[in-house]
A and B are shown apart, each in its own frame.
Chain A
Amino acid sequence: MIEDLTALGDLPQTLVRRARSAGVYLVWRAQTRAVRRVLVRERRVEETSASSVSGVGLQVFTEDGATALASRDDLLPDATLPLLDGAVRAAHGGRALGVHRAALPDLPPTRAEVVPEECRHFDALSLREAGERLVELEEEWARRSPGPSLRLAYGTDLDAWRVGRSDGTDVLYAMPRCVLRGAATTPSAGARHTVATAISSPHPRLLWDPERTALFLRRAEAAARLCLQLPDAPTHPPGSFPLVIDYALAKGLAHEAFGHASEADAFRSSILAKDGRFRVGDEVGPAHVSIVDETLPGDHAWQPFSPNGLPRRRTTIVSRGRLHEALSDPWSAAESGVAVTGAERAESYRHAPVPRMSNIRIEVEGALPAPGTFEDYGPEQVRELLAHAGVFRRHPRVVYLSGYSGGQVNTASGDFVFNCKALYTLSLDGIALYRPAIFSGSMFGALQSIREAFGPLLLDALGTCGKWGQSVPSSGGSHWFLVLDPHPAVRIGGSA
């Protein structure tokens, strides 16, 4: 599959020459992707599927800055060369539509190849064996957690790109991703709740990795337990409260509240920009809090290069409470006065790359220690952690939001919302479980209210980021638990 990208022959050079003779600058993107999936329900394989895509996207830029993208699901020269001609015509024809002209940035040529070792193992994966292994895991999960309806899915995704430009850039990279997901649903005839969990690995033998599957089963047990408890749980009244959020929710806060608003293609309307320029130096949080986006080897959202052929840089969005760097690509950086960070990503060769996150985290200076592993912490253990640190002296009753189940933001207004899997109240008097409720409000209020953190950084919270009609894997986290003081602009949703 990756070999298809190295076997393009002289097609890249031919395309570049043809673009030059047409008077345009070319960014060419070739992609091959193989996705396989197995779904198990009730101890049997319910679905397997295998699909692949391959194709080329050609984005041309005229001398006066007009651009067009043409794509076709084929890597054959006979089909690709006419595609380039069509892109050139469309770019010139765009004048009639009043299209925007963007100055062509000056970019350093790059030649590189990054193909992780795990990629070699994808062809050897048998979906039949994966299905059998999923059934084993479901049986083990059901043995540990009798009662709920269980669903397990395993997906592998080998996503390989080769990207070139008129300046001679030629970069090949492959991103191996495997995810094991589980969902437990209340079996009762009355109200039903579904609670999901997931782990990832770049290695397709994830299902046979004892350490990873043990971690999955611990998380799956907790999910099953919760889905059985939720139907009897009351709803929590709305309002502003002292909060504890876990690392997955902290990822949601960083991603929804600050990450999207720091993407430079949105600076003409983002609340983190003024007159199209990033508000570098503005204080947006306390001095002990930073937000960092960084692509991490082995991570679900790892991506070493952008689909424009630039290396992706670590970006400190908030440094000690102040806006510092933006997520940018060559075009948005030029227009908004920030450094190029190579943060653009694209779902496929059919899409134009846009700046977006990979693995984003909230870092808190002076985080307090937490013994054991994150999975050791149920609400009782979190309560003990808070009690030991004296949090209840400040706030006798704290709302603990556990587990992330998605979010959304309006980058123009700064309104964000995300949901949890469970809500608990913690106090020295006891613990009470409530049904999930949304956590919403103003991004500045949320960041300002972060008071303290517990535990080391844990960055494996998974997600899928949708922006501008494109979905890409996302990830991130924080310290195991963050404590937020109450803030009038940050609220827990409402009662049913």
Chain B
Amino acid sequence: MNLDLLVAALSAAKDVRAWSLGAAERRRLSLGVKDRQAGGPHAPIDLAESCAARYLLVWADGKVSKGSWERRQIEREAPAAIAAARLHAFDDPDAAQVAQPGPVPDVVLFDPRAAAVASGDTTLLAERLAQIRTRVAEAGFATWSGAFSSTLTEARVVNSAGVDVRERATAAGWHVSFEGELSDGHSGRGPEEDAAFSARLERAAALVRQLSGPAASAPAGEVPVLLHPNVVEEYVLSTLFDNLDGAAVAHGESAFRAEQFGAPSAVLREDMELAVDPLQPLRAGSYRVSGEGVAARPAAFLSRGRLVSPVLDLKYARRLKLPPSPIPYAMDTVRFGGPRAAGLPEALDGSALFVLHVLGVHTQDAVSGDFSLSAPQSLRVDAGEARGRVRATISGNLFRILRREDTLFVAFEGETTPGLLVRCHVA
């Protein structure tokens, strides 16, 4: 990636007062599997090369322009791209700023195995595919689908204030679903270790085997419901982060009001924590500087049930008069929990509905916290034993659940996010 022409053009532009670029050049290899067929016409081996830069320009008159430039604009058409950006400049005093240079943490973001795959070496991919095919045959599954990908990224964040951070990073991910029922997988900066990969595969296969057993009657009314970590990430955390979004808070479009941040009263139960640590090595959500050039750091969004900070970029940090926050780019750097926690056997000691997957998350109103979700992949558990599959609907209000005394965090093997044992309506 060559930003020289663009940086030179920006530096020479007399009417540009300040500028910031977050650029990345990526090389990616991916492969899909649809109903046992790997690499067919709808999910082929896919080699992708891309280069793009997000920009913020602050003009001499204080207006700002934002957007993204593609490869040809970066490498060959920089003056024209800058002139075109001027045409959509607008007044936004809070956005008219760039990050100041400062210490940048060291974070491990590069895994040579992921880089090798992204560059075309499919040896590891072949091994993992073979392992899944063997597992499918042993389990007698009729079908499975999935996808694998590895990416090598050369990134650079540079601005007119002197920030200039270059990074070589990788990403690797996979997911698989058996019998069209249940999906699981992993994403990080490198491939999962063999043992972790095998264990995750086995856990997913075991759950699908339990789902394919005889049906059980659904419990009804307000009953204990154990949400699998995948459900917690997909619904609970995404709802919390929708409401923690700085823009939503600033514009009154969040369940949380600006004046509640830093206030002494709790919005959730008084032992609940929600934080992010982007400095952990090789996590999908780890980074050194944000796309705006703000250095990564661990931080809390909720502490002891109290709101600490929204998720804030530079613009909304200024708008809300708070420091910019780290960004939870992926859930594997997020810490959600509290002292009231249990292991899986303890959590399932009594009777519960174990919800493995929900349909309709994106249809819910995050602001109200009301939820009404179809949970066709659920297991009825009595005295720690799975008694059969249940097709249920769960409903309630997330915020009320997270204030209840009996809500419990549940540790799951191999997962960075806990499950949640809650009481909600089941029908």
Given A45-B92, A194-B367, list of 7 further CB < 8 A pairs?
A42-B251, A59-B41, A71-B47, A96-B126, A98-B130, A238-B393, A438-B363
Alpha-carbon gap, A412 to B396, bound state (A): 28
Q: Is the CB of A410 within 8 A of B67?
A: no
Interface presence of A469 (CB below 8 A): yes
Q: Is the CB of A151 within 8 A of B251?
A: yes
| Selected A-B contacts with CB under 8 Å, 26 pairs | A45-B91, A50-B65, A66-B39, A67-B45, A69-B46, A70-B47, A71-B49, A72-B48, A73-B52, A74-B71, A75-B72, A99-B38, A100-B39, A183-B253, A186-B367, A238-B427, A268-B37, A352-B44, A407-B363, A408-B360, A408-B363, A412-B181, A436-B370, A440-B374, A494-B395, A496-B425
Alpha-carbon gap, A96 to B128, bound state (A): 12
Q: Is the CB of B71 within 8 A of A406?
A: no
The distance from the CB of B242 to the nearest CB of chain A, in whole angstroms, is 10
Q: Is the CB of B32 within 8 A of A406?
A: no
CB within 8 Å of B: which A101-131 residues: 102, 126-128, 131
With A94-B39, A100-B38 known as contacts, the answer to whether A36 contacts B88 (CB < 8 A) is yes
The listed residue (A93, A354, A495) touching B425 by CB distance below 8 A is A495
The distance from the CB of A191 to the nearest CB of chain B, in whole angstroms, is 5
Give the secondary structure class of A's interface: mixed
Alpha-carbon gap, A406 to B364, bound state (A): 9
CB within 8 Å of B: which A194-230 residues: 194, 230
User: Which residues of chain B come closer than 8 Å to A329, judged between CB atoms?
Assistant: 41-42
Alpha-carbon gap, A74 to B71, bound state (A): 7
Interface presence of A87 (CB below 8 A): yes
A residues sitting closer than 8 Å to B (CB atoms) are 36, 41-42, 44-55, 59, 61, 66-75, 83, 86-87, 89-91, 93-94, 96-100, 102, 126-128, 131, 149, 151, 183, 185-187, 189, 191-194, 230-231, 235, 238-239, 265-266, 268-269, 329, 331-332, 350, 352-354, 405-413, 415-419, 435-438, 440, 468-469, 491, 493-496
User: Which residues of chain A come closer than 8 Å to B130, judged between CB atoms?
Assistant: 98
Residue in chain B with minimal CB distance to A42: B251
Q: Is the CB of A53 within 8 A of B70?
A: yes
Q: Is the CB of A331 within 8 A of B49?
A: no
Alpha-carbon gap, A130 to B391, bound state (A): 48
With A97-B38, A131-B90, A495-B395 known as contacts, the answer to whether A419 contacts B126 (CB < 8 A) is no
Q: Is the CB of A49 within 8 A of B48?
A: no
Interface presence of B236 (CB below 8 A): no
Residue in chain B with minimal CB distance to A332: B42
Residue in chain A with minimal CB distance to B399: A191
Alpha-carbon gap, A98 to B31, bound state (A): 12
Alpha-carbon gap, A480 to B72, bound state (A): 47
Q: Is the CB of A411 within 8 A of B180?
A: yes
Interface presence of B66 (CB below 8 A): yes
Interface presence of B271 (CB below 8 A): no
With A193-B368, A230-B368 known as contacts, the answer to whether A438 contacts B45 (CB < 8 A) is no
Of B34, B47, B376, the most chain A CB neighbours within 10 A belong to B47
Interface presence of B405 (CB below 8 A): no
Alpha-carbon gap, A83 to B368, bound state (A): 49
The listed residue (A41, A66, A186, A406) touching B360 by CB distance below 8 A is A406
The 3 closest A-B pairs by CB, nearest first: A412-B180, A494-B395, A99-B39
Alpha-carbon gap, A494 to B88, bound state (A): 46
Residue in chain B with minimal CB distance to A61: B41
CB within 8 Å of A: which B38-88 residues: 38-52, 65-73, 84-85, 87-88
Alpha-carbon gap, A416 to B180, bound state (A): 14
With A191-B368, A411-B180 known as contacts, the answer to whether A54 contacts B42 (CB < 8 A) is no
How many residues belonging to B are interface residues under a CB distance threshold of 8 Å? Answer: 83
With A70-B47, A98-B38, A192-B367 known as contacts, the answer to whether A54 contacts B70 (CB < 8 A) is yes
Interface presence of B120 (CB below 8 A): yes
Q: Is the CB of B72 within 8 A of A74?
A: yes
The listed residue (A61, A192, A468, A494) touching B43 by CB distance below 8 A is A468
User: Which residues of chain B come closer than 8 Å to A413, judged between CB atoms?
Assistant: 180-181, 376
Q: Is the CB of B363 within 8 A of A418?
A: yes
Alpha-carbon gap, A417 to B39, bound state (A): 30
Q: Is the CB of A417 within 8 A of B374?
A: yes
The distance from the CB of A453 to the nearest CB of chain B, in whole angstroms, is 24
Interface presence of B125 (CB below 8 A): yes
Q: Is the CB of B37 within 8 A of A187?
A: no
Q: Is the CB of B66 within 8 A of A47?
A: yes
Q: Is the CB of A69 within 8 A of B38?
A: no
Alpha-carbon gap, A469 to B42, bound state (A): 12
With A72-B50, A413-B376 known as contacts, the answer to whether A48 contacts B90 (CB < 8 A) is yes
User: Which residues of chain B come closer than 8 Å to A408, judged between CB atoms?
Assistant: 359-363
With A97-B122, A127-B88, A494-B426 known as contacts, the answer to whether A49 contacts B66 (CB < 8 A) is yes
CB within 8 Å of A: which B376-422 residues: 376, 391, 393-397
User: Which residues of chain B come closer than 8 Å to A183, judged between CB atoms?
Assistant: 253
Give the secondary structure class of B's interface: mixed
Of B179, B360, B370, the most chain A CB neighbours within 10 A belong to B360
Interface presence of B257 (CB below 8 A): yes
User: Which residues of chain B come closer than 8 Å to A149, judged between CB atoms?
Assistant: 251-253
The distance from the CB of B293 to the nearest CB of chain A, in whole angstroms, is 18
User: Which residues of chain B come closer than 8 Å to A419, judged between CB atoms?
Assistant: 360, 363-364, 372
User: Which residues of chain A come closer than 8 Å to B92, judged between CB atoms?
Assistant: 45-47
Of B34, B45, B361, B367, the most chain A CB neighbours within 10 A belong to B45
User: Which residues of chain A come closer than 8 Å to B106, judged between CB atoms?
Assistant: none
Q: Is the CB of A437 within 8 A of B46?
A: no
With A54-B70, A412-B180 known as contacts, the answer to whether A100 contacts B363 (CB < 8 A) is no
User: Which residues of chain A come closer than 8 Å to B370, judged between CB atoms?
Assistant: 235, 435-436, 496
Q: Is the CB of B45 within 8 A of A99?
A: yes
Alpha-carbon gap, A87 to B120, bound state (A): 11
Q: Is the CB of B36 within 8 A of A268?
A: yes
Of B67, B88, B254, B397, the most chain A CB neighbours within 10 A belong to B88
Interface presence of B15 (CB below 8 A): no
Residue in chain A with minimal CB distance to B148: A97
Interface presence of B299 (CB below 8 A): no
Q: Is the CB of B67 within 8 A of A50?
A: yes
Alpha-carbon gap, A388 to B71, bound state (A): 62
Residue in chain A with minimal CB distance to B220: A238
Q: Is the CB of B42 within 8 A of A352?
A: yes
Q: Is the CB of B363 within 8 A of A406?
A: yes
Of A93, A193, A268, A354, the most chain B CB neighbours within 10 A belong to A268
The distance from the CB of B375 to the nearest CB of chain A, in whole angstroms, is 10
Interface presence of B255 (CB below 8 A): yes
Q: Is the CB of A86 within 8 A of B47?
A: yes
User: Which residues of chain B come closer than 8 Å to A68, judged between CB atoms?
Assistant: 39, 44-47
Residue in chain A with minimal CB distance to B142: A269
User: Which residues of chain B come closer than 8 Å to A53, judged between CB atoms?
Assistant: 52, 70
Alpha-carbon gap, A192 to B248, bound state (A): 12
Q: Is the CB of A102 within 8 A of B41?
A: yes
Residue in chain A with minimal CB distance to B372: A493
With A48-B88, A131-B90, A352-B42 known as contacts, the answer to whether A73 contacts B49 (CB < 8 A) is yes
Interface presence of B129 (CB below 8 A): yes
User: Which residues of chain B come closer than 8 Å to A50, judged between CB atoms?
Assistant: 65, 67, 84-85, 88
Q: Is the CB of A54 within 8 A of B359?
A: no
The listed residue (A98, A352, A410) touching B180 by CB distance below 8 A is A410
The listed residue (A71, A98, A438) touching B374 by CB distance below 8 A is A438
User: Which residues of chain B come closer than 8 Å to A100, judged between CB atoms?
Assistant: 37-40
Alpha-carbon gap, A148 to B418, bound state (A): 36
Q: Is the CB of B376 within 8 A of A97?
A: no
Alpha-carbon gap, A131 to B66, bound state (A): 14
User: Which residues of chain A come closer than 8 Å to B40, judged between CB atoms?
Assistant: 67, 99-100, 102, 331
The distance from the CB of B365 to the nearest CB of chain A, in whole angstroms, is 6
User: Which residues of chain A come closer than 8 Å to B342, judged between CB atoms?
Assistant: none
Over the window 8-39 of chain B, the binary record of Cβ atoms lying under 8 Å from chain A Cβ atoms (1 yes, 0 no) is: 00000000000000000000000110111111
Q: Is the CB of B147 within 8 A of A469?
A: yes
The listed residue (B52, B85, B90, B373) touching A45 by CB distance below 8 A is B90
Of B41, B43, B359, B372, the most chain A CB neighbours within 10 A belong to B41
Q: Is the CB of B42 within 8 A of A265?
A: yes
